[in-house]
Amino acid sequence: AWRKLAACEFQGKEQFQREVVRHVETTLARSMYNCDDAAAYAGTALALRDKLVIGWNKTQQNQTLQDQKRVYYLSLEFLMGRALDNAMLNTQVKDVARDGIAELGFRIEDVINQEHDAALGNGGLGRLAACFLDGLATLNYPGWGYGLRYRYGIFKQEIVDGYQVEVPDYWLDFNPWEFPRPDVAVDVMFYGYVKKDTDSDGKTIIVWEGGEIVQAIAYDVPVPGFDTSTTNNLRLWSSKPASGEFDFQKFNSGDYEGSIRDQQRAETISAVLYPNDNISAGKELRLKQQYFWVAASLHDIVRRFKKTHRPWSQFPDQVAIQLNDTHPTLAIVELQRILIDVEHIPWDQAWEIVTATFGYTNHTVLPEALEKWSVPLMQHLLPRHLQIIYDINLFFLQKVERMFPKDREMLTRVSIIEESQPQVLRMAYLAIIGSHKVNGVAELHSDLIKATIFKDFVAIYGPDKFANVTNGITPRRWLHQANPKLSDLIASKLGGYEFLKELSQLERLRPFIDDKEFRREWMEIKLSNKIRLAKYIRDTTGISVNPHALFDIQVKRIHEYKRQQMNIFGVIDRYLNLKAMTSEERKKVVPRASIFGGKAAPGYWMAKTIIRLINAVGEVVNKDKDIGDLLKVVFIEDYNVSKAELIIPASDISEHISTAGTEASGTSNMKFVLNGGLIIGTCDGANIEITREIGDENIFLLGNLAEDVEDLRHRHRYGQVEMDPKLRAVCDEIEKGTFGDPSVYEGLISSLTTGCDYYLVSDDFSSYLTTQDLVDEAYRDKDGWATKCINSVASMGFFSADRCINEYADMIWNVEPLVPVK
C-alpha cells in the first residue's frame, strides 16, 4: 500500500474519454468508428495538451510576475524523444488515460508507440540538454531552452546488406507538442558590410548593414515538470524569408523558380540537423545555423529584459546563459555587439556584463570535435562580429602580455586566432574568454581539460574559473517511464514515488537486500524486460534470442574512440573459442546475446565499416548450428531515445569501453546502472565516479589508465608494440574471409597496425577478454549478481539530473527556484 503522488488533472476517466472523443471528432474531423491507433494517439495527445497549456501559461505568467533571474540553456541539440508518455507520467494522468483509452478499445502502449521521436540531436550532448530541461522544470527553476526547429532531425538508420543507409527523418507531419508563435519573429542579418557613421549628437558609431535578412519564427514546446505545476518553455526557431525578401517582382514577372529559390535558401537554414557527433566539418551552412539561432535567442532575451526597464548593469542579475559546448559561442559576440553598437554602452562596461552572463560547458577533449571557423568565412558572413572578435582577442592578449611579459609563445598559444592557412578562430578559447565559468562534465574530464587543452587558461585566470559538474540523467524518463515495473517495485518498498524527486532515497532499498521475495521480484522484472526486448528483436530482425542468456549491450553513437570494434573483436574471439570446444565443454558456457545499436556519421567511413563487421559477424554466428543459443549477435537498427527506453532496462551488462581519457562523461552508463544492469568499462568519464558511488566490487573495470595513454601511443608510433596474439587471431579470421570479403575491413585492421592503433585496442584487448570472463563467472552466481545489481541501484542517487541542475544553479547561474503556482 504505497501512496501515489498528486491527483491527476482530469476529473476521472470519463472526462478524459470525452476530451479524446471530442478531439477525434472535431479537431481531426474523424469518426470514432474509424479511429485507428494513430487517431487515438492524436486525440490523447491533444486532450493532454489542453491540460498542459494551462499550467504552462500560469508558469510563464508567474515567472514574468516574480521577475527573478532566469536561466537560458542554449543548445543546438535537444534530443527529446517522445513526449506523450513523459507528459502523462509527469502530470500523473497515466493511470486515468490507460483506463480511459482501454474502454475506448485501445492499449495505451500502442497509442504511445504511434508517436514519432523528436530527434533533434545526435547523442549525449543533445540528450543531456533534454534531461536538464526535465530537471529544471521539476525543480521549479525559471529556465528556458533555446534551439533550432529542424525540419529533419537525425537521419533514420536502415541496415541494408549489413551497411548503414541514411533515410531523412521528416517528423513534423503531425506534432501536437509545438505552438507556432508567428508574432514572435526576429529578423537576422548575414553578410553585408560595416561602416562608420555619426549619430545625431555627432558621435562616431558603427553600422552593419546591407546584408541578407532571414526571419526567425518561434515555435514553443511545453516542458512539464514531474509532480509540479511548473511547465517551462523550449523555444525553437524556424527560418523563413523576411517579409519583402520573398521576391514578388520575380514571381510577378514569371520567374517562379527564382522566387522559390530565394524562399528555399532562407528555409534551408533550419532544414536539417548536422549528423556529426564529435566531428566538426566547418561548413558555412552550419555557421549560419549557429548565428541564426544565437541572434534570434539573444534578441528575445534582451527584449524580455528591456521590458523590465532596469539599467543594463543589472542584466547579469536577471539573465544567466549557459552555452552547451561551443556551438553557441557567437552569442558572446552578439551580446557584446548589441551592447556597444545598438545600446552604445562603452566597451569595458559591456564586456563586464557579457562575461558575467555566460557560462560554458565543454563536452570533449577530442581535437577533431573542437570547433574552428575559418576567418575568411567569418569575414564574409559576419563582418562586424569578426571585428569584435579581433577586439576581444586584442584586449585579452594585452592582459596576457602584462601577466607574462616575455612569453611570446604563450600569446601564440592562447590567441583566439590560429595562424594557419587560412587563419581559423578557436571557438573554445573565445567561449572561455567570454564566460565567467567553464565546466567539464565528469571529474576526470574536468581535470583533463585543465591539464591539457585549457592549461594556459588556468594559468591566466586561475583555477577557480574552471569547475566540474558531473552529468546526470532524469530518473523520470530513465527509470519511471522506461522501466515502470522496477519503479513500482521500488515505490512499494520506499512507500511512494518521492525517490523520483529525491533520488538519494534509493539508499533506503538497502535494508531489503536480503529479502528473498524482493530479490525474486527484482530479477523477475529484469527477465520480463529482457523478454520484451527479445520479442522486439525477433519481430524486427527475425533473430531469436534466449531471454535467459546474458544480455551484453553496447548502444551509443559509433565512434572509434568508443571502441565498438573492440567489442566485436571480443565477440569473434568468443566465437572462435566456442567453435574449438567439445559439446561437453559448451554445456558449461554462459549463453550470451551481444546487442549493438548506434548511428555512424554519414561521412565517417571507419564507423560505417564497424557497423558492417558487426552485421557480418551476426550473420555467420547466428546461423551456426554448433553455436545455437550460446552466442547471438544483434544489431538493432535506428537506435534512438524511444529504443533506448526499451533496450536499457533489458541489459545484464553494458559496455562503456572508450579509450581512457576520451569519453568526457557518458550518460548511458548511468541509465544502465539505474535500471539494475552492471557495467563493463574503462576508467573513463563518469565510470570512475560510478565506481566510487557503487563500489568497485559492483563494476567490471578494464584497461589502461588515462595517464598511460600518451606513453602507449608513443610506443605504437615507434613500432614497439607487439599485437596481442588473440587479437592477431581475430584479425586473421577476418582476413581469411570468414565474415565476407576481407577487403571491406582492410581500413579497420590497418588502423591497428600501420595506423598506430590510436585508440589502443591492442593494449586493452587482453584485459577486456579477461574481464569478460569475470562477467561470465559472476553471472553464474545468480544470487551474487542480484546483490550487485540492487546494491548498485541503491547507490545511484548522485547521478540524478536534479543534483546536477542544483550544482549549476548554485555555482554558475546563481538562480533560485520559484514557488510553483497552484
Site of interaction with ligand 26Y (CB under 6 A):
122-125, 128, 276-280, 325, 363-364, 369, 371, 441, 471, 663-667, 685
Among residues 333 and 448, whose Cβ is nearest to ligand 26Y?
448
CB of 119 to ligand 26Y, least distance (A): 14
Which residue has cell 558492417?
612
**Residues 6+ away with beta carbon under 8 Å from 768:** 566, 570, 657, 702, 703
CB of 473 to ligand 26Y, least distance (A): 10
CB of 508 to ligand 26Y, least distance (A): 28
Active site residue 127: no
CB of 439 to ligand 26Y, least distance (A): 10
* Strand, coil or helix: 191: coil
CA 163 to chain centre: 24
Report the amino acid identity of residue 74.
L
CA 461 to chain centre: 30
Cell of residue 201, nine digits = 549628437
Active site residue 726: no
CB of 663 to ligand 26Y, least distance (A): 5
Among residues 276 and 446, whose Cβ is nearest to ligand 26Y?
276
CB of 668 to ligand 26Y, least distance (A): 8
Helices 801-808 and 124-138 cross at an angle (nearest 10°) of 80
- Angle formed at CA 440 by CA 437 and CA 441, multiple of 5 degrees: 130
Q: What does the alpha-carbon distance between residue 379 and residue 389 come to, in Å, rounded to a whole number?
A: 11
Among residues 253 and 420, whose Cβ is nearest to ligand 26Y?
420
* Candidate list 526, 556, 632, 656, residue with the active-site label: 556
Please, are residues 757 and 719 in contact by the beta-carbon 8 Å criterion? no
Active site residue 436: no
* Candidate list 562, 563, 574, 726, residue with the active-site label: 562
Longest CA–CA span in the chain (Å) reads 96
DSSP category for residue 723: P
Other C-beta atoms closer than 10 Å to the C-beta of 615 total 22
* Candidate list 329, 609, 667, 682, residue with the active-site label: 667
Among residues 369 and 680, whose Cβ is nearest to ligand 26Y?
369
Backbone angles phi, psi at 229, to 5 degrees: -80, -10
DSSP code per residue over 98-143: HHHHHHTT--HHHHHTTSPPEEES-SHHHHHHHHHHHHHHHTT--E
Please, are residues 181 and 171 in contact by the beta-carbon 8 Å criterion? no
Half-sphere exposure of 550 (CA within 13 A, CB side): 25
Among residues 63 and 278, whose Cβ is nearest to ligand 26Y?
278
Active site residue 562: yes
* Candidate list 49, 127, 149, 363, residue with the active-site label: 363
CB of 126 to ligand 26Y, least distance (A): 7
CB of 239 to ligand 26Y, least distance (A): 20
| Peptide bond preceding 725 in cis form (omega within 30 of 0) | no
Q: Are strands 118-120 and 700-702 parallel, antiparallel or unpaired?
A: unpaired
Backbone angles phi, psi at 38, to 5 degrees: -65, -45
Among residues 371 and 655, whose Cβ is nearest to ligand 26Y?
371
Among residues 81 and 666, whose Cβ is nearest to ligand 26Y?
666
Report the amino acid identity of residue 702.
L
CB of 750 to ligand 26Y, least distance (A): 26
Q: In which region does residue 661 sit, left (phi positive, over 0), alpha (psi from -120 to 50) or beta (all else)? A: left
**Residues 6+ away with beta carbon under 8 Å from 251:** 259
Among residues 573 and 655, whose Cβ is nearest to ligand 26Y?
655
Q: Where are the alpha helices (DSSP H) in 443-582?
A: 443-451, 455-461, 475, 484-494, 516-541, 564-580
Half-sphere exposure of 23 (CA within 13 A, CB side): 19
Go through the chain and tell me how many residues it has: 822
CB of 812 to ligand 26Y, least distance (A): 15
Helices 37-66 and 94-103 cross at an angle (nearest 10°) of 150
CA 75 to chain centre: 10
Active site residue 671: yes
- Which among 171, 289, 189, 170 is positioned nearest to 237, based on CA atoms? 289
Among residues 616 and 760, whose Cβ is nearest to ligand 26Y?
760
Q: What does the alpha-carbon distance between residue 815 and residue 316 come to, in Å, rounded to a whole number?
A: 11
* Candidate list 671, 713, 726, 788, residue with the active-site label: 671
Among residues 13 and 643, whose Cβ is nearest to ligand 26Y?
643
Cell of residue 78, nine digits = 535537444
Q: What does the alpha-carbon distance between residue 191 and residue 210 come to, in Å, rounded to a whole number?
A: 8
Which residue has cell 514572435?
184
Among residues 218 and 441, whose Cβ is nearest to ligand 26Y?
441
Among residues 441 and 460, whose Cβ is nearest to ligand 26Y?
441
Active site residue 588: no
Q: What does the alpha-carbon distance between residue 481 and residue 493 come to, in Å, rounded to a whole number?
A: 18
Report the amino acid identity of residue 801.
A
Please, are residues 663 and 684 in contact by the beta-carbon 8 Å criterion? yes
Among residues 323 and 534, whose Cβ is nearest to ligand 26Y?
323
CB of 579 to ligand 26Y, least distance (A): 36
* Candidate list 557, 559, 574, 632, residue with the active-site label: 557
Residue least distant from ligand 26Y (Cβ): 124
Half-sphere exposure of 388 (CA within 13 A, CB side): 27
- Angle formed at CA 582 by CA 578 and CA 584, multiple of 5 degrees: 110
Q: What does the alpha-carbon distance between residue 385 and residue 330 come to, in Å, rounded to a whole number?
A: 8
Cell of residue 760, nine digits = 589502443
CB of 582 to ligand 26Y, least distance (A): 43
- Angle formed at CA 767 by CA 764 and CA 768, multiple of 5 degrees: 80
CB of 279 to ligand 26Y, least distance (A): 6
Positions marked active-site: 363, 556-557, 562, 667, 671
